[in-house]
Structures are given as C-alpha cells and as structure tokens.
Structure 1
C-alpha cells in the first residue's frame, strides 16, 4: 500500500511549501502504485492540504516519490480484483476524485518526477500546475493501451490541453503500440510534458520535521522524512521563480473545468490528429485490441467537454475494458514477462557461469555481424568474427562498422562508445584466431552437415573449457554436438532477427549439454538484456515450430483452393503483427520452404508440403508487392494464387474456416510440444510467442487465446489454464 508523508518546508520569498511524499507502507525499495487504499490515503492528504491552504497556511504543494519511482501507476492487482462493473467504476471514480482534488487545490502545485512516472502516476502529475523531472529519469509515459486499458484518471482529458492533441495521441496511442516505448526526462521536456529537467538529488540520512531552506545553497538537497527522500534544492527555487513569474511556463490551453470554447484552428488540429489514427485503431480493434479505439474516442470527446463530462467518458471506457477477458489475458502476459524474465524456468540453480573474457563468432554474414555487435556491446569484451575468405570477412566487418555509425548518428551511442565498439569487433579468416575465446557462437548456413564441420574445426583449436553455441533456428543441437569429443559444452543460443530489437532468446539444452554450458548461455542472454526461455532440443524449438505450423496450414489451404484474398483476411481476428503472406516474405520464401520441409521430415505430415511455395522460390516470385523490407502494410500480390492449388477440393475453406483450421492446429501443436517437455509449461509458450513472434499481449500470448476461443476444449478436451488465470473469474 502507498502511504503519504507530509513535510513542511519554509522557502524564502514563497512561504510554507507542503511536500507530499508517496512511499511504500513498509519502506521497502519498490515502485509505488495506487490501489483503493493508496488513493484513499492520498485523497485524505489532499483534503488536509486544501483546508490548510484555504486558511492561508500554505503557499504551495509539491508531490514527489521515493527511490527510483515517482508513481508506477494504478495497482494492477486492484484492477484484476474488480469482478464486475460496479467495482471497476468505484476504482475509476476514486482516481478521478484524487486528480480533481489536486487540480482544485487553491495554491500552486508541482509534481517533481524523481523517478518513473507511469500511467496513473503520470496522470497525478498532469493534474498539477507544474512538473519538474530529475535528469536521469528514464520512464515517463502512459502505457495503458499497451496493457488493454485507457489513461482513465484524467490522461485523455488533461494531456491534449497540455501538449496538444498530436503529441498527446503519440504518448497515449502511438508509443504503447511501439512495444511500449517510454520517454526519458529530456524527451518529456521536448514534448512539453515537463516544464524543466533538474539535477537529481544525492540522498543522505536526515531527521524528519520542518526545514528552513532559505540558507541552502543552489546545489544542496532538502532531506526528509526519516532520511528516505532527497528533494533537490533546485526544485524549490524553480517553483519560487515560476510562482513569481520569473521563469516562463508555456501552456497550450488551460486545463478544462467548464465546457471548452470553440476555436476553429484548435478544432482543425484536434480533428486531424484524431483522424490520422482512426484506421490504425480500427485495425487493432478488429484484431481484438479494443483499448486504442476507446482511448481515441476519449481524447476526441474531451475536445469540447467539461472536465466532469470528459472524466465520465474515461470512466465508461475504463469500466468496459476492465471486465473483459482480453484485459485479464493482457495482465497475465504482462506479469509473466516480468517474473519469467527475472527467473527463467530451467536455468540451473547454483551453477556458476563460465567467465567470458573474449568471444568468437563463426561466420561474418548478416546474422553473425548482428551477434558480434550485440555481444561486444553487452559483454564489453573483444569479439572476433571468422569467415572463409578475405572478401566475406571484409564485407562482414564493414557491415558492423556501418551499423555502429548508424547508432552513433542517431544518438544511441556516443562518439567514444562507437570508437570502442569498432575496436572490440575484429575479423579473421584463420580459425586459430578463435583459440583464446571463452565462448564461440556458430552463425553459418542452416545445414546440419555445414554446422557439424564448423564445430569439428573449432574443437580442434579452442580451449577445453570453451563453450560452443549455435544460433540454429530449427536444427538439432544434439546432432551437431554428437561427433565431438566434448559434446557436453555445446548449447543452443537462438537469437531472433533483428538481433538488437528482438527480446527473446531460446536457450536450447542438447542431449549432453552440461550445467556449466547451460548456465553460461543464460548468463550471456541476461547480459544482452534478453529474456531467455529454456527449451529442449526438439525440432523448431517453440517459436518456429508454432509459426511454421500456422504458415503450413495457410499454405495447405491455398493448395486446397482457398483464395489468396480469403487467406489474407482469415487471421485478422488473431491480431498478429503482420499477415501470413507478409511474414512469409519477411522470412524469405526459400527459408520458409527449407524449414517447412525440415519440420515435415522431423515431425510428420501435419506440416504439409507446398508445391506452390516451391514454385514461388523457383520462379523468384514475391508474396507482396513493393520494394524493400516487407511490413504489415505491404499489399499482398493476388496473382501469387496462380502458383497454388495442387490439391483442389470441392469446397475450399473461406476465411472463417481457415481461421478455425489454424486455431485447431496451434492447439494440437502446443499440446504436443508440452507433452514432449520442450518447455516447462504453457507460460513459457506464451513468453516465447509474445517476445519471439510478436503475439499480441491482449491475447495473453497463445494459450489464453486458444482457451478463450474454446479451441483448447474442442481439440484437447481441456483448457491450458483454469478460469481466472488469464480470463475473468467464473
């Protein structure tokens, strides 16, 4: 529970400033959130502050947090506990009561963002007159639509008035859809979200009580209460100057209380910002993600309405979303990504990882270069790529240097950091140059015989303790290791493409992999800030096994006579990041055909052969039109259908029939890989599909979606999860 510590500070030329510090009840170093009790505590503190201000005893009120958090938003446990609309409405209205109490205080108010300000926490800050932020704050935003909610405590009402509708909708809708992108303090300043960025404090023990800061130096901090918080002196000095009008504070429009007067210029900007996002939110809603559409409606509605009317619109949106299975699935997945990332199931307990002082990468192609750069940047050790000839090696190193330069030009690394990376990544054609590596990652052509030859060559030169890893996406790691003298040191480290962006690593334990090699693989994934999922050595592991099964069903339907148009719209209700044809083109038809054939050989005829896909590869055709890397928006080429139809049936599936076929196939394949103990449980399937395949959070990953659609019980006679785990309680 969040409690509120009240401290009076006497500020020269301003008067008594009441600082309300939000802190965990037990004093632990954890992010503060607001449930019903925390909101009640804050409301009580604000009521007392209002009374004192009305009596003339306060000059201003400051809200701040503790540790690395201002406020991390609403307590998701409280949201999950709401079983019906009545409970959801009570929480929504209580949040609105608190932000209204902040906004209506009769003295100037300031929120100092000492740390993360997210969701409902940021909405509390938006209700204040001013906002300051510490220079090192890195997490500011409204992630509600990412989770399946809306900014329902004033965010859709206050933010457009503060920063304008375009910037507000970027924060409310666009950023959450970009893998929950957040703002750091400088970006929040540029957006107009905060008024100034100030140096952060250096906390030190101090006694509670009132403090006179009149004599404090500009660089000193005011410490309170019980030594738990340090408020930068600069915050109070800036507040004094802002109240006196000595520093300019830009505002688009005053916060709404009564109806907003019509302004043609403002209306045009507002309507344009909303219209630009209509197609996007409609598409998300068609895929099962209703939250962005509700948020857009709430922002649009707040254009001319009073604060109370706008709050009522937010209440209705929030109440509607809270009592849906989609939200519960989203919260299940969100919690899962957090704790599974910290403690992946299957990581050896108490087994120290091998110290990595240098790394080798077998290969210098695209994937090898991405791995080399990631490992150099993450582990901060020398990385040597090795390829067969000087030309390949030169191209590989040039590609790494080009990427380093792109990162430097975008401001993601400094000049010094770029120079350091260029020094760390080297290239060679002599395998002996990998002799001193503690870890060598193989990233060569996806053929078993080729990889076996590479490992045999490496074993002849590396040390006895060197860990050998393969980045294979589907081949047997055990088969690669079997011919070696020491197969126990071989492990799978399946990074996804593009390596820098994709957050998942499948850590594959082969038949003879020992605990040290396996623990080292997890440590490397953690150092690279990736989420690791422990998988057994089985064909396709998890992500590719399921994705290829999905694509195989689509291709199989095309061979049966389903039209390209029907197949293209069939999977829209699943809300996937891109359609099957865009995905096939992104993977590459040749790669897709190779993996489909491999899994058909290893797992059986439920992975269908596709003569049409073979023709696509042979004739150099594309599933989509347009040049460049395929995206979700790439138009599908309807003419590609002429290559399929090798097994036409009398009544081919329409879109609804194909969707059902894909769902049933995924339920079957998921059950089979769980029965084979490829992963520890359904939770790992969901982590893998969310992080490795972009499976929607509002689906909870894969298994809650199969439960919610009734597919699990129809195919398997059982659910993957009990009701209430990733759905509304029954």
Structure 2
C-alpha cells in the first residue's frame, strides 16, 4: 500500500494500520491510501474481518486542522465512513491513546469499537468553533442516546474508555496487547455471524426521545454559550438527528459545518488553537531541561496556596513555607477545605484528595527549601520584601535550582540582581485562583538562561497551564494592557455613564463580566494600594476605598451586594457620588453609548498590545491573544484583542484613536506605529525584535 497506511493479514483478519506521526491526523495523504486499502479489502475473500488501528502513541487524534476552510481533496472523511458502512464483513476500530474528532467519527463508521483501558474518546470540534463534520452528531446519538451525545458534543470534553463503554459507543475495553485482542474480537464476531448492522441503521436509542426534555437541555446549553455559535449549531444538528431521516440529518450537519468553518468565530478559535502551541515554543534547539522533582512555595496565602495546589494537582511534591506556624496552619487548612469542596462537588475523588494532600510538606524554616529544584516566591507585592526573600534563597538554594517570583508588576531584573545567580531567576506570574486559572506568564529576565525558560514551559504543560513567555516591563503583557483598557473607566463615569452601563457594553461584547463587576470581585483595595505605591489617584475609586467599600468582600463597592449574594445591585449612592465628583470637576455629563465605551476601552487595549510588540515584550501578536483569552476572559469567539483588531478593522481603530486623542490629548489614544503598519499591511510586525 503506502508507508502511511499498511495492511497485514493475520489469519484472515486484515489489520489496516495508519502511521502518520505525531497524532495520525486524517490529512489527504492519509485518507487516499486508507480509502484504497478499504476498497481492496471489501471484496477480498482472504479477509474475513477488518481491524483499523494506528501506529505510534495514539489512534487518529483528529482531522488535519490546516485543511479547514480550504478546498477539500477527495476522498474526504465522510466518503470513507460511508464506504466503511457498505462493508458486510465485521469492521473493528482498535483505539489507543486518543480518538478525537474525525478519529472518533472514523471509528463510528465501523461496526465495533474496542479500546485500550487508557484511551480517551471525544468530539472536541466545538472548541474550534465547529461541530463534528463527519457524521458525529448523527451517529453518536444512535449509540448513546440524544441527551448523552448532546452533553458530550457541546462540552467537547473527552471521556475515558470505561465511560465510553458504559455509555454504549465502545464495545469492549482491553488491557495489554490491543491489536492482538482486537484480532481475537474480530474472529469472535465472524464466528458469531452477521448481519452486522452499521451505526447509521441503529435507531433504538433515538426512538422515543423526549423532545421537550431535549429542548430544555439545549436551551440551558444556549444560555451558557454566551454568544458562541458552535454550541447552538451542535444542538440544532442533534435535533435534526432525532427528527430527520439519517441522510437528511447528515446533509444538514454538513451545511451547518460549512457555515461555521467560514465564519469569524471558528477562524478566531482555530487561530487560538495554533497560537497556544506556538506560545509554548522556546527558541533554541536541543535545550536541556532541568529536572523538577520537588517545588518550594514561599507564602501560604491565597496566591501561594493556589500555586501549591496547581503543582500538587500535577503530581509534584510541594514544600510550603510560611513565616509562622499559625500562618502555615491557616494556609494548609484552606488547601484542605478547597479539596474538600471539590470532593463534595464530585469533581475529585476522596482517594485523589488524600493523595494530593500527601504531597504537601509545611515548614517555617528556609533550610527545608534547600533540596527543591524550583522555588516560587509568592509574598507581598513589595520590591524590598521580594529582594530580601531572594537574598535568603541565594544563600540556601542548591546549585542549579530555579528561583521564580510570582510578581504581577515588579521588575524581575531588579529581583534577579539581588542574587549571585541571575541566570536561574525568572518570573512565574500565575493568575488567581492559581489552581483554577489556566494562564501562566513566564517572565524572561535579561539574564535568564534559555534552558530555565524551557524547563518552566515544560512544567507548565505538566500542570495543565497555558504558558506564554513575556519580557520585563511594568505589568508585563496582561496587566500592562489591563491598565490601558481601564484608563478611561472613571472618565466614562464622570462624563455620563454608570458602572452598569459600562459593564453591560462589555458583557454584550462577550466578556464574562465588565470592569466594575470584576473590580468588585477582585477587591478595590488591591488597585488602591497599587495606585498609592505609584503616586496615582482615581477620584471615585479612591473615595469608595476610603469609605471601606472594597467590593464583594465588604458588601459594597461599585455595586451593592445583599448578604450571602454575589449578584451586583446598582448602588444609587455610588451614582450620586459620580455626579458630585463630576460637578466638582466641572465636567458636563451626557449620554454615552456602547460604541463609545468599546472605543475608549478596547481600542487602547489593542494599541497597548501594538506597543508591546514594538518593544519586544511579546514575541508574537498571537501570544498576546493567548494571554488575554486565558487570563482575562477576552471572548474566545473573537480570538483575542490582536486578532479581533483585524476583524474590527485596524484602519477604523486608528481613525477612532486619532479622534479620541484629539479630544483628550491622552497618550493611550496616540496610535502606535505597529498598529498603523497593521492597518496598512494587514499583518502584525514586531519592530522591537
């Protein structure tokens, strides 16, 4: 056949093996020989059964995403699956590793599916702004029922082999030699005799589906979609699978797929898919990573405890250091409580909780950090305090240990200079809560060794974080741009908007919450403390903080919060305060619309991103998108601020920034040269190298 698809006859069972590393993606150069192999075997009397398997570490892990949106070369996946269903002899998919997207759809074209016990199976296309385009929405519900299929397809979350068997779309789960056992299984099916019914003709699980219950389930999923098109299209395709004949439902699925794949949302989500993988790459060939077997965390507060949990969740032993036994006990108790909540919610087993707690070692003695391979400082955001900590670490940490600061804003070069080993120092900016949030900004200091960056990037993958390497500046990428996004917030209020109007413009755009609700959630005292440290003021926010109104934790901030509730309620006293301050400053108030709110908040966000590129703080515009989607809630359907700038029209952004610069004279509205070039060429450049 070919070196990508081979066929071996094992005592009458034809084993078709796909070998297309690294993940056996179903690109054209796989599909063509696969189709030819199946065509040759269908009528081959020497083959009494067919097993489809894969070489390497996984079954087919999906389609070739780079082909999406391009003219499709034949045979396409749907044609291969349709052909599979014409084969009368038993066909068996032997699944190991992952069977995802097109890989699972290929398996659904077989009569039977057997899996290694460690396999994962799923249809994650929704995460690319798509629905399964190879019949997944029509075949899967015929095996597992409409409700289960809908939850799987809309979530996009893979299930284990055991779960797949329980649900009904894997027939047998094996331990040991999968191929040998798949061959035996095929022999047993031959001995049992046919006819062998293809999945397309199995309607028992769909018969009698409660359409009202399905509609309610779909409506709840639509509510959670927050403007994303793909989950709604998945629900529509699934309803077609229930109500239409198979071929009509299959054709309707294809039309929905084509509509999504050509749309901006899927383009944005596919951009993010590749951007995350690109962001994790560290320049330099054959970088030798250092071993990370134990991690030390300094500080058991909210941030330090969350970081410790993130590492323990990844299976790493953690030494947690505090200044006193009382603070240490408090921190460990919070960690235990957080894990107990996970057990009560069913997201963690009691056995897993005990194993994770067993990875923690508490201490109040710096000497206990001497054996750690990585030490992360998570103390108060104060340069003098952090430099003192790093001076102590320099004295006790073993040679070659990586020393990291969790600072959100401070100069990592200055921190590194307080040690005799600046090559081993970098920033690891986790986002709160650190055990939940995916983003990790890895801050590259001037003297950080490349292998240190590579080691920490690899660690990020181990603990399930999305890592982006950034340079040193105040606030790095995320918080520096956040400051630009929020620079006009108070001006908008003073000139006529209310906090709820601004927040509504943000949520209508697709953010999970607006800046004022987010401020109340984080605590207004954090920004107040930061402003005072930098000699800055915010006339309304400072007044609220002086009144002790710090947000949700005090029951009042930009909004009021009833006892025990996190639901924001408009505060008439805050609105009165805004009017009073506007009068004192002689600012005439007027109606401010949602378009103006977006222009004065998100356009400066993009503009600051352009400046960051010019300075070389970020290596790629796509890195900035990864930061903002994973760390700050920028809508994934818009692809991040730099991708969205292209959708919005960079020329328009430049034009409106120039208008607001003329109105206010504020520097955030002066268009950056990189933004002007983007408007001219349609491509982001990195002038800073």
**TM-score of the aligned structures, taking structure 1 as reference length:** 0.78
Aligned match for 1:442, one of 329, 354, 377: 377
The C-alpha deviation readout for 1:205-226, integer Å capped at 9, x for no partner, is xxxxxxxxxxxxxxxx54xxxx
The C-alpha deviation readout for 1:201-252, integer Å capped at 9, x for no partner, is 27xxxxxxxxxxxxxxxxxx54xxxxxxxx644533563577579xxx9x9x
2:55 equivalent in structure 1: 66
1:201 equivalent in structure 2: 177
Aligned length: 652
* Contact in 2 for aligned 1:66/1:114 (Cα 8 Å): no
2:470 equivalent in structure 1: 535
CA shift for structure 1 position 338: 2.0
Aligned match for 2:442, one of 499, 507, 510: 507
Q: 1:60 to 1:722 in 2, by over 3 A?
A: farther
Identify the structure with bigger relative contact order (alpha carbons < 8 Å, sequence gap 6+).
Answer: 1
**SS at the partner of 1:472?**
coil
CA shift for structure 1 position 500: 3.1
CA shift for structure 1 position 541: 0.8
Aligned match for 1:700, one of 635, 639, 657: 639
State how far apart, in whole Å, the 1-side matches of 2:617 and 2:104 are: 42
CA shift for structure 1 position 291: 1.8
Alignment of 1:268-307 (within 5 A): 268-281=212-225, 283-284=226-227, 289-307=228-246
The C-alpha deviation readout for 1:361-410, integer Å capped at 9, x for no partner, is 221212222323444565745x3322222211112223334456667785
Aligned match for 1:236, one of 158, 166, 186: 186
2:411 maps to 1:429? no
State how far apart, in whole Å, the 2-side matches of 1:599 and 1:160 are: 58
1:114 equivalent in structure 2: 96
2:614 maps to 1:678? no
* Contact in 2 for aligned 1:690/1:701 (Cα 8 Å): yes
2:550 equivalent in structure 1: 617
* Contact in 2 for aligned 1:156/1:302 (Cα 8 Å): yes
Q: 1:57 to 1:484 in 2, by over 3 A?
A: closer
* Contact in 1 for aligned 2:305/2:335 (Cα 8 Å): yes
2:665 equivalent in structure 1: none
State how far apart, in whole Å, the 2-side matches of 1:585 and 1:644 are: 17
The C-alpha deviation readout for 1:338-373, integer Å capped at 9, x for no partner, is 2432x235xx76665555565432212122223234
Q: 1:355 to 1:698 in 2, by over 3 A?
A: same
1:5 equivalent in structure 2: 6
2:256 maps to 1:317? yes
CA shift for structure 1 position 521: 4.4
State how far apart, in whole Å, the 2-side matches of 1:547 and 1:240 are: 64
* Contact in 1 for aligned 2:265/2:638 (Cα 8 Å): yes
* Contact in 2 for aligned 1:19/1:64 (Cα 8 Å): yes
**SS at the partner of 1:369?**
helix
1:370 equivalent in structure 2: 306
CA shift for structure 1 position 311: 1.6
CA shift for structure 1 position 133: 1.1
RMSD: 3.9
Q: 1:613 to 1:40 in 2, by over 3 A?
A: farther
State how far apart, in whole Å, the 2-side matches of 1:723 and 1:514 are: 35
2:162 equivalent in structure 1: 186
2:593 equivalent in structure 1: 654
* Contact in 2 for aligned 1:257/1:307 (Cα 8 Å): no
CA shift for structure 1 position 423: 4.8
State how far apart, in whole Å, the 1-side matches of 2:680 and 2:522 are: 32
* Contact in 2 for aligned 1:156/1:298 (Cα 8 Å): yes
State how far apart, in whole Å, the 2-side matches of 1:151 and 1:495 are: 34
1:209 equivalent in structure 2: none
* Contact in 2 for aligned 1:65/1:115 (Cα 8 Å): no
CA shift for structure 1 position 636: 5.7
Q: 1:161 to 1:644 in 2, by over 3 A?
A: farther
**TM-score of the aligned structures, taking structure 2 as reference length:** 0.82
2:15 maps to 1:19? yes
* Contact in 1 for aligned 2:503/2:517 (Cα 8 Å): no
State how far apart, in whole Å, the 2-side matches of 1:254 and 1:523 are: 41
Q: 1:661 to 1:242 in 2, by over 3 A?
A: farther
The C-alpha deviation readout for 1:307-349, integer Å capped at 9, x for no partner, is 22112211211221222343333222212212432x235xx76
Q: 1:198 to 1:407 in 2, by over 3 A?
A: farther
The C-alpha deviation readout for 1:391-433, integer Å capped at 9, x for no partner, is 1111222333445666778585784x76665454222333444
Q: 1:636 to 1:684 in 2, by over 3 A?
A: farther
2:28 maps to 1:78? no
* Contact in 2 for aligned 1:559/1:610 (Cα 8 Å): no
State how far apart, in whole Å, the 2-side matches of 1:234 and 1:725 are: 56
State how far apart, in whole Å, the 1-side matches of 2:273 and 2:392 are: 43
* Contact in 2 for aligned 1:611/1:644 (Cα 8 Å): no
1:267 equivalent in structure 2: 211
* Contact in 2 for aligned 1:354/1:520 (Cα 8 Å): yes
Alignment of 1:413-562 (within 5 A): 415=351, 421-459=356-394, 461-462=396-397, 466-482=401-417, 489-511=424-446, 513=448, 521-522=456-457, 524-525=459-460, 527-562=462-497
What residue ranges of structure 1 are gaps of 5+ in the alignment?
A: 11-15, 203-220, 223-230
Q: 1:423 to 1:46 in 2, by over 3 A?
A: closer
State how far apart, in whole Å, the 2-side matches of 1:722 and 1:194 are: 51
Query: 314-323 vs 423-432, which deviates more?
Result: 423-432
**SS at the partner of 1:152?**
coil
* Contact in 2 for aligned 1:110/1:128 (Cα 8 Å): yes
Query: 295-304 vs 39-48, which deviates more?
Result: 39-48
1:718 equivalent in structure 2: 677
State how far apart, in whole Å, the 1-side matches of 2:461 and 2:222 are: 39
1:142 equivalent in structure 2: 123
Q: 1:161 to 1:437 in 2, by over 3 A?
A: closer
1:211 equivalent in structure 2: none
CA shift for structure 1 position 72: 2.2
* Contact in 2 for aligned 1:72/1:117 (Cα 8 Å): yes
2:107 maps to 1:125? yes
Query: 370-379 vs 148-157, which deviates more?
Result: 370-379
1:344 equivalent in structure 2: 282
2:327 maps to 1:392? yes
* Contact in 1 for aligned 2:328/2:363 (Cα 8 Å): yes
